[in-house]
Amino acid sequence: MGRLPEGALMQRAAHGLAAAVADLLGATYGARVRLLVGPGDNGGDALHAGARLARRGARVEAVLLAPQVHAEGLAALLAAGGRVLEGAERERPDVVVDGILGIGGRPGLREDAVAALGAVEGVPVVAVDVPSGVDVDTGRLDGPHVRADLTVTFGTHKVAHLVDPAAQACGALHLVDLGLDVPPAPVEALQRDDVARLIPVPGPFDHKYTRGVVGVRAGSEQYPGAAVLCTSGAACGLAGMVRYVGSAADEVRGTHPEVVVGAGRVQAWVVGSGGSEGAGEALAAAAEDGVPLVVDADAIAHVASLGAGADVLVTPHAGELAALLGVDRADVEADQLGHARRAAADLGVTVLLKGRRTLCAAPDGGVRATTTGTPWLGTAGAGDVLAGLCGALRAAGLSSYDAGSVGSWVHGAAAQLASGGGPVVAAQVAAAVPRVVRDVLDGRPLS
């Protein structure tokens, strides 16, 4: 679509914003709406939306947090019967609209903004475009910021919507389509249709070897269970066959009779889950085959020993990535995008940084964020299942970037399905993977 005049764009944004606020309120007539208005267009969006809500009978009041605010927006609000709040107001609003800072805002908030937010603590907040004060382009939180219940954004998702810790400050996300062409995003989020397109589906003449064999070198005397769980992820049916090499052969065979025990030809190896002290050796043995590697848990510490040119997907949690980079875990958690990108670029590998919002960072700078999942997935062995699943996708022919991001999307969706809002254990997540794949391919709701 062609270019639209600035004013028309703002009206579209205000329309979407007002509709989202009205939805949240349930009934607009008589509802009390407080706008926190900063100096820019973000404040203009809030003022125009406020004018629309006032015309629908809401009592709209604006707190002006800048000497100059969007003049047209303010005029529209006043003409619609809204008012500007001077001084303290005792009556609490039903909803707060955060129009303090938009995508051009610097991280942090000024004192007057912090005080205005403090006065409405506990009231639901709808953020315009992004919660004010978050770092829009990195997902970091440096200083005071808004914690929104709902963020209404326009055109396309921004980094802060997808990357923690900022993503968590957004609350629920609502995207208003402005009908514009949008440039490629620095961080993408795979949608269900993308996953359906990327999942490897066997053709009529495929057999187990053409579909790909995934090898698993995992487990130890200490952690035989990790070998079983990693194999469960690999044995999700997305590759033609699973091989297992390691000390937990009996446990693996007992749970998965279809798994072939012993070395042999594979299209990708998964190494390290529960590998303990033997993980370095297991990685070296796997690397001899020259096939793509998925490197998890205890093998991650040895990834630098792989020669340049090895095709590697590493799957660390924040603690493992911190150890790999020689920084504190808290630093990784505070800047997940920066550390995932840095590790991918410095080591020349694809990095799947696991967390609430798992990130898949390729050495060429591409990043995908996973939007499926549930906090119930934070359970022992869930990462082992994910490593196996990514290995199956890698063996079936996906690139490391696609295998990591699709694997993580499917893993999160399987956790949601298995959880249904309640607790899950890792084996249940693995067991739900085939159902997720079926539903995604069929285009039906996850069941």
Ligand X SMILES: NC(=O)C1=CN([C@@H]2O[C@H](COP(=O)(O)OP(=O)(O)OC[C@H]3O[C@@H](n4cnc5c(N)ncnc54)[C@H](O)[C@@H]3O)[C@@H](O)[C@H]2O)[C@@H](O)CC1
Q: Of the candidates 408, 400, 410, 364, which has an alpha carbon nearest to the alpha carbon of residue 291?
A: 400
Partner from ligand ADP, ligand X, none binding residue 298, C-beta < 5-8 Å depending on class: ligand X
Report, in Å, the least distance between residue 408 CB and ligand ADP: 7
Q: Looking only at residues 244 through 263 of this chain, which bind ligand ADP when binding is defined by CB under 6 A?
A: none
For residues 40 and 102, is the Cβ–Cβ distance under 8 A?
Answer: yes
Q: Which stretch binds ligand X (CB under 6 A): 234-242, 268-276, 305-313, 362-370?
A: 268-276
CA distance 295 to 387: 8
Annotated binding residue at 382? yes
**Tokens at 52, concatenated:** 């629309």
Q: What is the DSSP string of 428-446?
A: HHHHHHHHHHHHHHHTPPP
Report, in Å, the least distance between residue 255 CB and ligand X: 12
Q: Looking only at residues 281 through 300 of this chain, which bind ligand ADP when binding is defined by CB under 6 A?
A: 297
386 binds ligand ADP (CB under 6 A): yes
Report, in Å, the least distance between residue 287 CB and ligand ADP: 21
Residue 342 burial by Cβ neighbours in a 10 Å radius (0-12, 13-18, 19+): middle
Annotated binding residue at 354? yes
Report, in Å, the least distance between residue 313 CB and ligand X: 16
Annotated binding residue at 197? no
**Tokens at 239, concatenated:** 């590759």
Q: Which stretch binds ligand ADP (CB under 6 A): 195-203, 207-215, 304-312, 369-377?
A: 369-377
**Tokens at 424, concatenated:** 């899950």
**Three-state DSSP state, 248:** coil
Q: Which stretch binds ligand ADP (CB under 6 A): 58-66, 109-117, 350-358, 391-399?
A: 350-358
For residues 241 and 265, is the Cβ–Cβ distance under 8 A?
Answer: no
Annotated binding residue at 148? no
x/- letters, 23..52, toward ligand ADP (CB under 6 A): ------------------------------
Annotated binding residue at 377? yes
384 binds ligand X (CB under 6 A): yes
Annotated binding residue at 155? no
135 binds ligand ADP (CB under 6 A): no
Measure CA 350 to chain center.
16
404 binds ligand X (CB under 6 A): no
Q: Of the candidates 167, 168, 142, 145, which has an alpha carbon nearest to the alpha carbon of residue 157?
A: 167
Residues 6+ apart with CB under 8 A from 168: 356
274 binds ligand X (CB under 6 A): yes
Q: Which of 226, 238, 390, 393 binds ligand X (CB under 6 A)?
A: 226
CA distance 408 to 354: 9
Q: Which stretch binds ligand X (CB under 6 A): 75-83, 369-377, 380-388, 439-447?
A: 380-388
* Closer to ligand X by Cβ: residue 168 or 222: 222
Measure CA 264 to chain center.
36
243 binds ligand ADP (CB under 6 A): no
223 binds ligand X (CB under 6 A): yes
How far, CA to CA in Å, does 251 sit from each of 167, 216, 245, 248, 259?
A: 40, 14, 12, 5, 11
Entry field: residues in the chain: 447
244 binds ligand X (CB under 6 A): no
CA distance 314 to 343: 10
**Three-state DSSP state, 71:** helix
Annotated binding residue at 376? yes
- The conformation of residue 421, written as its DSSP 8-state character, comes to T
- In 10 A of CB 181, how many CB atoms? 9
Q: Which of 57, 319, 365, 420 binds ligand X (CB under 6 A)?
A: 319
Q: What are phi and psi of 227, to 5 degrees?
A: -65, -40
Q: Which of 186, 366, 378, 434 binds ligand ADP (CB under 6 A)?
A: 378
Contact set with ligand ADP (CB under 6 A)? 297, 317, 354-356, 358, 373-375, 377-378, 380-384, 386, 411
Binding site membership for ATP: which residues? 354-358, 374-383
Contact set with ligand X (CB under 6 A)? 223, 225-226, 273-275, 297-298, 319, 380-381, 383-384
Binding site membership: which residues? 274, 317-323, 354-358, 374-384
